[in-house]
Amino acid sequence: MRCPYCHVDNDRVLETRAAEGGYIVRRKRVCSSCQRRFSTLEKLEQLNVRVVKSDQTREPLDREKIRRGIERACSKRPIQSSKIEQVVQSIEADIYESFDSEVTATQIGDIVLKHLASLDQVAFIRFASVYREFDGANDFIRAISNIGGATPDPPR
């Protein structure tokens, strides 16, 4: 690891801690040359899971796309960004635990809905209305009545 101050590649690790569910390691380091301290974060590199979209195209799983969708659903709600980050991490962990190489966009949407149901009911309905393509008030009523199940019925 290069020192961010003097750019010498010679440091010692002072402390190592697991952070954020064990998927990230935080290390406190000291440069052997300039004696300044700095911290690094190491993230576990996951295997590339590909998302199969409705038109059968495939693209790599994009964590930021999931985050943006959740942030839109949670906009103007009293939800801390740290909680959103925890939900995104949980969703990502669920996907990597359940799927080896490919996951459909529908399966990702269902996982997101499951997590949003426990986070915030309004965010759940907002996400469901876009994800399930609600056409009218009846679709919202059906989703609200099924909110405990965390998977609203698809519109008819």
Residue 101, Cβ neighbours under 10 Å: how many?
9
Q: How many domains does the chain have?
A: 2
Confidence label for 119 from pLDDT (cuts 50, 70 and 90) = very high
Residues 101 and 142 in one domain: yes
Same domain, 131 and 72: yes
Nearest partner of 89 among 10, 20, 6, 3, judged by Cα = 20
120 residue type, one letter: D
Q: Which stretch of 12-16, 77-81, 144-148 has the lowest confidence by average pLDDT?
A: 144-148
Distance separating alpha carbons of residues 150 and 110, to the nearest angstrom: 8
Please indicate, yes or no, if residue 5 is contained in any of the structural domains. Answer: no
Answer yes or no: do 24 and 94 share one domain.
Answer: no
pLDDT at residue 125 greater than cutoff 60: yes
Answer with the residue of higher pLDDT: 34 or 155.
Answer: 34
Residues 57-107 have pLDDT tens digits of: 999 999 999 999 999 999 999 999 999 999 998 999 899 889 989 999 999
Residue 28 lies in a domain: yes
Confidence (pTM): 0.64
* Range 143-148 average pLDDT: 73
CA distances from 61 to 85, 96, 108, 116 (A): 16, 10, 10, 19
Q: What does the pLDDT read at residue 21?
A: 64
Q: Is the pLDDT score of 151 beyond 90?
A: no
Instruction: With respect to residue 99, please indicate whether it lies within any of the assigned structural domains.
Output: yes
Domain region containing 131: 50-149
Are residue 67 and residue 117 in the same domain, yes or no? yes
Q: Does 19 lie in the same domain as 71?
A: no
pLDDT at 156: 43
